Structure 1
Amino acid sequence: MKIILTGSLGNISKPLATELVQQGHAVTLISSKAERQAEIEALGATAAIGSVDDVAFLTATFSGADAVYLMVPPNFTVRDSRAYHQHLGRSYAQAIQQSGVRRVVQLSSWGAHRSEGIGGIIGTHDVEEILAELPGLALTHLRATSFYYNMFSFIGLIKARGIIGVNYAGDTRVAFVHTQDIAAAAADELATPATPGRHVRYVASDERTAHDVARVFGAAIGRPDLQWVAFTNEQMQENLERAGLPATRATEVVDIYAGIGNGTLSEDYEQHKSALGRVKLEDFAQEFAAAFQAAG
């Protein structure tokens, strides 16, 4: 199959490209940076250098493809995250229509089933809706749960204050996911023909409480007394702004974590779970410990 991937050499797209190439597919990886071409080609993929907001470029790249994997590159510099997602969603939709692609797998998020009350995930909801309007498309929303790697942001907090936490309680049970498991699910979807229509697949690796996170991470970094501390929304907002996030983007993050705490993000996930992936919390804790030590 000829498969097109967005996401350059990111945490999902690089292992996804590697897996698909090993399966014998002809993979094209889109990147905005020409200096990535050699590394992309070293994976056995073809590099397509251009911008994902360039409809003409996307149309030319998508033409003749059997399947396309779409993601919106994270960008914390834009002032309006929702408008940014909507713009790229429309670019993708136009290119799909003009190129004639009929199989699309879109990286989405748990909580994207809702049209409000989900913080920064609202833009991902919008992209789902934009793509779902395309007729005749076999579309899968790959709804990933809470990314393990977001917890690398705890390193500074642990080193500075000896605690770990966000604005949800320690007994909150959270579905976490590793990017390797997302890549594996995306590879499975892309290589499997799908019937026209809208499909949803949730991707999670492990389900653990926040207290479990503190205990497992504490053991991994040699701080067995590490405790989870639940911040208020106001404290979380202040912490994020102090870390350099613009106020509006900080509020989006606060609302996402609040949605985990009150069950808003997980309500549809709980009704439509898929089998958990391979990478458990204890596995990721080793990655966390390595990054913690490297941070000095």
Structure 2
Amino acid sequence: MIVVTTPTGQIGQQILDNIFDSTEAIRVIVRDPSRLSPRMRERVEVVQGSHDDIDVVTKAFEGADCVLWLVPPNPRAESSKGYYLNFTRPACEAIKSQGVKRVIGVSSLGREFGKNAGLLSPAFAMDDLIETTGVSYRALRMPFFMENLLNQVKTIKSQGMFFMANSGDHKLATCATRDIATVAAKLLLDDSWTGQDSVPVVGPDDLTPKDMAQIISQVLERPVRFQQITSADYKATMMQYGMTEAWAQGLVDMAAAQDQGIYNNESRTAQPTPTSFIQWCVEVLKPAVLA
């Protein structure tokens, strides 16, 4: 039995598609089952509710061999670390009480960074907490998601610009969520691994935001430029969109950690995943901009 959390999210949905044709029984935890496609509702067993609820995860983890664990973002949380840990504690109780054999967690590169990394630090705390259960664990470690740029489709389309708090000249390792889903699905379907370890999931390109702008311009056949926004302005803008001060500060601190090279040590320790940034722009970003 495989259990998938966040099955309607960007990563979870792609993982489900990847394991759909397997012979494994699949169970999902979802607040609103109607968000699953009819095809998927016929294939999976549904446990309705939130996976921060001890009753829900206890029911969902019963008889589970492997669990895909992902904490959904909550920009209204008053403490990002507190939110991650409070969300994960019920799962850790259920992992132990239900005898779950293996867990795959969606985390980040840079666990050995040793300094405040904003919204990345809570993911590392999540890893630590899950590992205390003794379960066999694989932390998927990712850098900058290409899909982050989908949040700026409107400004790319209307202004020919995108904005980040990051330095325009510091290279970032990148990855596409499709490749995260591929790696996660392989681990979910492999019952041979044990112990606790990390799995870097890194694409072939290390790019500065200015590099990204050049590639986007090439793909869209129109000028697109990158504009760095000050940390103070970025934080204020995010709070105007309804984020708590703590969550907005976490984004600012994450950008600072990225500029300080949090991804550098781990980003090339594994075989690169297949999706290049230009391929992603052609297949994902360009259709979104033209829609």
TM-score (normalised: structure 2): 0.90
Q: RMSD across aligned C-alpha pairs, in angstroms? A: 2.1
Q: Determine the structure 2 residue equivalent to 1:143.
A: 141
Structure 2 portions without partners, runs of 5+: none
Identity rate of aligned residues, in percent? 23
1:74 and 1:183 mapped to 2: Cα distance? 18
* 1:113-124 paired onto structure 2 within 5 Å: 113-114=112-113, 116-124=115-123
Q: Deviations over 1:256-292 (max 9, x none)?
A: 11111110x214424x622122221112213222222
Contact 1:8-1:32 within 8 A present in 2 as well = no
Q: 2:281 aligns with which of 281, 285, 288?
A: 285
* Residue-pair matches, total: 289
Q: Determine the structure 2 residue equivalent to 1:87.
A: 86
Q: Indicate how the Cα distance of structure 1 residues 251 and 101 shifts in structure 2: closer, same or farther if over 3 A, else same.
A: same
Contact 2:203-2:272 within 8 A present in 1 as well = yes
Contact 2:66-2:188 within 8 A present in 1 as well = yes
Q: Determine the structure 2 residue equivalent to 1:206.
A: 204
Task: Give, in angstroms, the shift of residue 56 of structure 1.
Answer: 2.3
Contact 2:66-2:102 within 8 A present in 1 as well = yes
Task: Give, in angstroms, the shift of residue 102 of structure 1.
Answer: 1.5
Q: Determine the structure 2 residue equivalent to 1:186.
A: 184
Task: Give, in angstroms, the shift of residue 191 of structure 1.
Answer: 1.8
Task: Give, in angstroms, the shift of residue 82 of structure 1.
Answer: 1.5
Structure 1 portions without partners, runs of 5+: none
Q: Determine the structure 1 residue equivalent to 2:226.
A: 228
Of 36-45 and 60-69, the range deviating more from structure 2: 36-45
Contact 2:80-2:246 within 8 A present in 1 as well = no
Q: Indicate how the Cα distance of structure 1 residues 134 and 209 shifts in structure 2: closer, same or farther if over 3 A, else same.
A: same
2:52 and 2:162 mapped to 1: Cα distance? 38
* 1:1-296 paired onto structure 2 within 5 Å: 2-36=1-35, 39=38, 41-42=40-41, 44-114=43-113, 116-135=115-134, 137-159=135-157, 161-207=159-205, 208-224=207-223, 226-263=224-261, 265-270=262-267, 273-286=269-282, 287-294=284-291
Contact 2:4-2:27 within 8 A present in 1 as well = yes
2:188 and 2:112 mapped to 1: Cα distance? 22
Task: Give, in angstroms, the shift of residue 194 of structure 1.
Answer: 4.7
The letter of the residue matching 1:167 is: A
Q: Deviations over 1:63-86 (max 9, x none)?
A: 212111111012212222211111
1:206 and 1:257 mapped to 2: Cα distance? 21
1:102 and 1:169 mapped to 2: Cα distance? 42
